[in-house]
Amino acid sequence: MKNTIKIFGIIAFATIIGLTFVACGAEQGHNVFVGGTPIVGHTITATSEGTFQGNFSWQISSRDGAFNWGTLGISGDVSGSNRQNLELRTGAVGRYIRVSRRTQGGDTIFSNPIGPIQAP
* 34-93 pLDDT, tens digit each: 999 999 999 999 998 888 887 888 888 887 766 667 766 544 444 444 478 888 888 888
Let me know if residue 115 belongs to a domain. no
DSSP helix/strand/coil, 82: coil
Whether residue 114 contacts residue 38, with contact meaning beta carbons closer than 8 Å, is answered with yes
- For residue 74, the domain's CATH number is 2.60.40
Alpha helices in the chain (DSSP H): 2-24
Record the pTM: 0.66
Do 34 and 45 contact (CB within 8 A), yes or no? Answer: yes
The single-letter code of the amino acid at 67 is F
Please give the tally of structural domains in the chain: 1
The parent domain of residue 66 ranges over 28-110
Q: Does residue 23 lie in a domain region?
A: no
Q: For the CA atoms of 9, 10, 16, 20, what is the dihedral angle to 10 degrees?
A: 160
Query: Looking at the domain assignment, is residue 35 inside a domain?
Result: yes
